[in-house]
Amino acid sequence: MGAEKGLVKQRIDEKDFFREATLKLCSSLEIERALCQCLLYIRRFIPAGQVGFHVYHRDEGIVETVAHATPAGGQATSMRIPLSARGKRQIEKRRLVRVRLIERLGDDPITGPVADRLEAWDLSAVVIDLVLEKTMLGIFSVFNNGREQFSAEHVRLLSLLDKPCAIALTNSLRFRELKNLKELLADDNRYLQEELNKMTGEQVIGAGQGLKEVMEMVHKVAPLESPVLLLGETGTGKEVMANAIHNLSLRKDGPFIRVNCGAIPASLLDSELFGYEKGAFTGAISRKRGRIERAQGGTLFLDEIGELSAQAQVRLLRVIQEKEIDRVGGSETVRVNIRIIAATHRNLETMMEEQKFRADLFFRLRVFPIRIPSLRERTTDIPALVRHFILKKAREMKRPHIPAPCPSAMARLLAYHWPGNIRELENAVERSLILDRSNLLFFKEIGSQKSISPPISLSLNRDAPDESGRFHEPGQREPPLELDQVLITHICHVLDLCNGRVEGERGAAKLLNIHPSTLRKRMKKLNISFGRRGMFSGGLA
Give the span between the Cα atoms of 447 and 279, in whole angstroms.
57
In a domain, 187, yes or no: no
Q: Which residues 6+ apart lie within 8 Å of 340 measured at CB?
A: 227, 228, 299, 300, 302, 319, 320, 365
Of 336, 354, 373, the residue at which a domain comes to its end is: 373
**Do 219 and 154 share a structural domain?**
no
Give the span between the Cα atoms of 335 and 323, in whole angstroms.
6
DSSP alpha helices (H): ranges in 235-309?
238-247, 266-274, 291-294
In a domain, 184, yes or no: no
Mean confidence (pLDDT) of the chain: 81
**Please, are residues 539 and 202 in contact by the beta-carbon 8 Å criterion?**
yes
Q: What b/e readout covers 218-252, taking b as 16+ CB neighbours within 10 angstroms?
A: beebbeeeebbbbbbbebbbbbbbbbbbbbbbebe
Q: Return the minimum-mean-pLDDT range out of 297-311, 375-389, 486-500.
A: 486-500
**Residue 478 pLDDT exceeds 50:** no
For the chain, how many residues are written? 541
**Do 325 and 209 share a structural domain?**
yes
Q: What b/e readout covers 278-316, taking b as 16+ CB neighbours within 10 angstroms?
A: eebeeeeeeebebbbbebbebbbbbbbbbbbeeebbebb
List of E strands, 225-352: 228-231, 256-260, 299-303, 324-326, 333-335, 339-344
CATH of the domain at 367: 3.40.50.300
Of 338, 373, 408, the residue at which a domain comes to its end is: 373
Of 373, 403, 429, the residue at which a domain comes to its end is: 373
Of the ranges 347-356, 460-469, 512-521, which is most confident?
A: 347-356
Confidence bin at 23 (pLDDT 50/70/90)? very high
**Residue 260 pLDDT exceeds 50:** yes
**Do 306 and 218 share a structural domain?**
yes
**Do 398 and 319 share a structural domain?**
no
Q: 41-90: per-residue pLDDT in tens?
A: 999 999 998 898 888 887 777 788 888 899 998 888 878 877 777 777 77
pTM above 0.75, yes or no: no
In a domain, 200, yes or no: no
**Do 415 and 319 share a structural domain?**
no
Amino acid at 178: L
**Residue 205 pLDDT exceeds 80:** yes
Amino acid at 153: E
Give the span between the Cα atoms of 345 and 304, in whole angstroms.
7
Strand partners, 256: 299
Give the span between the Cα atoms of 111 and 136, in whole angstroms.
17
How many independent structural domains does the chain possess? 3
In a domain, 507, yes or no: yes
**Do 394 and 246 share a structural domain?**
no
CATH of the domain at 464: 1.10.8.60
**Residue 532 pLDDT exceeds 60:** no
CATH of the domain at 169: 3.30.450.40
Confidence bin at 249 (pLDDT 50/70/90)? very high
In a domain, 541, yes or no: no
**Do 263 and 137 share a structural domain?**
no
Q: What is the pLDDT of residue 540?
A: 38
- Residue 342 belongs to domain spanning: 205-373
In a domain, 44, yes or no: yes
DSSP 326-337: E-BT--SEEE--
Q: 306-318: per-residue pLDDT in tens?
A: 998 888 888 889 8
**Please, are residues 242 and 298 in contact by the beta-carbon 8 Å criterion?**
no
CA torsion 459-464-467-471 (nearest 10°) is 140
**Do 10 and 159 share a structural domain?**
yes
Displacement of CA 21 from its chain's centroid (Å):
44
**Please, are residues 54 and 114 in contact by the beta-carbon 8 Å criterion?**
yes
| Strands 404-405 vs 333-335: parallel, antiparallel or unpaired | unpaired
**Residue 487 pLDDT exceeds 90:** no
Q: What b/e readout covers 116-140, taking b as 16+ CB neighbours within 10 angstroms?
A: eebebeebbbbbbbbeeeeebbbbb
**Do 366 and 384 share a structural domain?**
no
**Do 156 and 8 share a structural domain?**
yes
Give the span between the Cα atoms of 355 and 174, in whole angstroms.
56
**Do 250 and 275 share a structural domain?**
yes
Give the span between the Cα atoms of 148 and 207, in whole angstroms.
77
**Please, are residues 226 and 368 in contact by the beta-carbon 8 Å criterion?**
yes
Give the span between the Cα atoms of 481 and 446, in whole angstroms.
17
Residue 162: count other Cβ atoms within 10 Å of its Cβ: 17
Give the span between the Cα atoms of 411 and 402, in whole angstroms.
20
Does residue 480 or residue 41 have the better pLDDT? 41
Long-range contacts of 149-155 (CB under 8 A, 24+ apart): 149/47, 149/124, 150/46, 150/47, 150/101, 150/124, 150/126, 151/8, 153/8, 154/8, 154/45, 154/46, 154/47, 154/126, 155/99, 155/101, 155/126
From first CA to last CA, the distance across the chain in angstroms is: 81
Burial environment of residue 357 by CB neighbours within 10 A (0 to 12, 13 to 18, 19 or more): buried
Helices (H) and strands (E) counted in the chain, each on its own, are 21, 15
Give the span between the Cα atoms of 56 and 139, in whole angstroms.
8
Give the span between the Cα atoms of 501 and 499, in whole angstroms.
6
- What is the average per-residue pLDDT within 160-168? 89
Give the span between the Cα atoms of 514 and 503, in whole angstroms.
10
Burial environment of residue 268 by CB neighbours within 10 A (0 to 12, 13 to 18, 19 or more): exposed
In a domain, 75, yes or no: yes
Q: Which residues 6+ apart lie within 8 Å of 224 measured at CB?
A: 249
Give the span between the Cα atoms of 435 and 393, in whole angstroms.
13
In a domain, 183, yes or no: no
**Residue 198 pLDDT exceeds 90:** no
**Do 367 and 389 share a structural domain?**
no
